[in-house]
Amino acid sequence: MARSYNLADLLEILAAAGPDRPALVAGDERRTLKELNERANRVGHHLAQAGVRAGQHVAILSYNRAEWIEAMLGIFKIRAVPIPVNFRYVAAELHHVLSDSDSVALIGERSLLERVQAVRADLPELAHVLVLEDGGTNDVPGAVEYEKALAAADATDDFPERSSDDRYIMYTGGTTGYPKGVEWRCEDIFFGALGGGNVLGDPITSPDAIAANAEQPPMSVLDCAPVMHGAGQWVACMGLFSGAKVVLYTDHAFDAKRALDLLAAEQANVIMIVGDVMGRPIAKELARGGYDTSSLFAVASGGAPLTEGAKDELKAHLPNVMFLDNYGASETGATGPSVGGKEGTARFAMKPDTTVLDDDLDVVRPGEIGRLARSGHIPLGYYNDPAKTAKTFFTDRNGTRWSIPGDFASLEEDGTITLLGRGSLMINTGGEKVYPEEVEVALKDHPDVYDVVVVGLPDERFGQRVAAVIAPRPGTAPTLEELTEHCRDLIAGYKLPRQITLVDEVQRTAVGKSDYKWAKGVFADASA
């Protein structure tokens, strides 16, 4: 049978070449390549028996755990498509993703499924639910227990032939806060974001060539990022397909001491973190002393910037460690490593298929500003949304197709690219993406709020924090505590405002749009 770049095919090739090689560690759970492959087989066979067909979508709602990875790979086994769902979402956000993605099945932790139950009646396509036990006691009517389902399923690689065209979808924030499903071909995501089978060298030239990675010297990658996000998932896949042991950080809240203890116990060579939100606490904990970091040779960061200040704090305790701070986006994949930059900017050595284009889709001259663009292995577009696809993916006069998600950048004389910021007003708080409009809508639902503008303000730990300028209704003075409590059931916790200021009137532009520059000025004046 011809092999493809479907991720299930690649797993089977690796498992056949090195069945006893350590593949995955998550809490007390450990999997060799053979064990991971067999459990993924069981997931696939169970879903097929439950009626899931090739091309259909299966959602995963879970914190980091071994079952997350094996479920994802098991879904690929039957040519279905995994849909990662943010475990921080409240019911309305869960409804949007599960409905927008046309998910026909869901694999989720019992406690998290309680939120799904509130909207389940409005999801007629969602016909099958598998429950991962997490200590929760809530009832999930009609659901099947994950371990019982796997115990009764076939563990063999007996599946129909797969294709490199099989789909991969990653949901990412939209301009109104609602996520969009970025749809890739498996071959394109493998080469565009998952390292191409050789993270530091030339990509493999055929699926079967990945078998050689089962003979590589053993490596260990500690992945502290959530695998339901692109950065965490891509690093886990890079490690797995390069033949490394992937160690997932499984605590529900990040604890630097726990991460460093895990690094020492598993002798991790690479630790994956999410910018300053993890980097600074690790540096602070390292300053206490007593940690074995002798195995570590690289700190990788993604999802949020790792600032030079945070790097300096880490370097004081890890002087011989490399820093791999890469630029990436759901619409572009992983495009290149950081090479420093001026204050407030980041400069990257991008891959040859990444450049800066002007409005005519021509490459800008050095020193000029345009929009970051990538060609080659890029997504097909946004799932079931041709209008949004047309605003991000373009074909130039020479027939080259580009992904241009909206980051403004300048091209430097030496060929590097300096990122200047997202053209939209997205707020990046600890790696989570927040769109002002969604928070504004939630705040306006409060009876004391007449008008509001939401912006991102600098935050030492999280990069940015959500802040709101609010014009209250006459005779009222809503507090931050009152507003956050009101919004808690409307939007995820990381989207809640951390700072507010009250004004008599919210200033708007000449055409009535939110004046975000003015709003930031209000906070600057208050600070001064």
CATH number where 200 lies: 3.40.50.12780
For residue 224, pLDDT over 50 is answered with yes
Of 283, 263, 324, 276, the residue nearest 304 (C-alpha): 276
Q: How many helices (H) and strands (E) does the chain have?
A: 15, 28
400 lies in the same domain as 293? no
**pLDDT, mean of residues 159-178:** 85
pLDDT of res. 512? 56
Final residue before a domain boundary, out of 197, 219, 250: 250
Q: Are 272 and 296 in contact (CB under 8 A)?
A: no
Higher-confidence residue of 304 and 501: namely 501
Residue 223 in tokens: 């992945």
245 lies in the same domain as 257? no
End-to-end CA distance of the chain: 69
pLDDT digits (tens, 9 = 90+) for 278-310: 998 999 999 999 999 999 999 999 887 777 778
Task: Please give the helix or strand (H or E) that residue 472 lies within, else none.
Answer: strand 463-472
Question: Could you tell me if residue 356 is inside a domain?
Answer: yes
Alpha-carbon gap, residue 291 to 293, rounded angstroms: 6
Indicate the burial class of 367 (C-beta count within 10 angstroms; 0-12, 13-18, 19 or more).
Answer: exposed
Instruction: Work out the mean pLDDT of the chain and round it to a whole number.
Output: 92
User: Sorting pLDDT into bands at 50, 70 and 90, what band is 170?
Assistant: very high
Question: Could you tell me if residue 126 is inside a domain?
Answer: yes
pLDDT of res. 119? 95
112 lies in the same domain as 189? yes
Residue 29 in tokens: 């759970």
48 lies in the same domain as 147? yes
pLDDT of res. 341? 57
Q: Are 468 and 452 in contact (CB under 8 A)?
A: yes
384 lies in the same domain as 361? yes
151 lies in the same domain as 115? yes
pLDDT of res. 511? 47
**pLDDT, mean of residues 322-332:** 87
Alpha-carbon gap, residue 175 to 59, rounded angstroms: 23
Alpha-carbon gap, residue 363 to 410, rounded angstroms: 10
Alpha-carbon gap, residue 165 to 429, rounded angstroms: 34
226 lies in the same domain as 284? no
**pLDDT, mean of residues 6-22:** 98
For residue 222, pLDDT over 60 is answered with yes
Domain count, the chain: 4
**pLDDT, mean of residues 122-128:** 97
364 lies in the same domain as 487? no
Domain of residue 279, residue span: 253-330
Question: Could you tell me if residue 1 is inside a domain?
Answer: no
For residue 447, pLDDT over 50 is answered with yes
Question: Could you tell me if residue 344 is inside a domain?
Answer: yes
58 lies in the same domain as 198? yes
| Sheet strands (E) in 137-286 | 144-145, 167-172, 180-185, 220-223, 245-248, 270-273
Alpha-carbon gap, residue 99 to 91, rounded angstroms: 12
Q: Are 393 and 378 in contact (CB under 8 A)?
A: yes
267 lies in the same domain as 359? no
Q: Are 409 and 356 in contact (CB under 8 A)?
A: yes
Alpha-carbon gap, residue 418 to 407, rounded angstroms: 10
For residue 66, pLDDT over 60 is answered with yes
pLDDT digits (tens, 9 = 90+) for 341-380: 554 456 788 888 999 999 899 999 998 888 999 999 999 9
Final residue before a domain boundary, out of 311, 330, 349: 330
Residues above pLDDT 90, as percent of the chain? 75
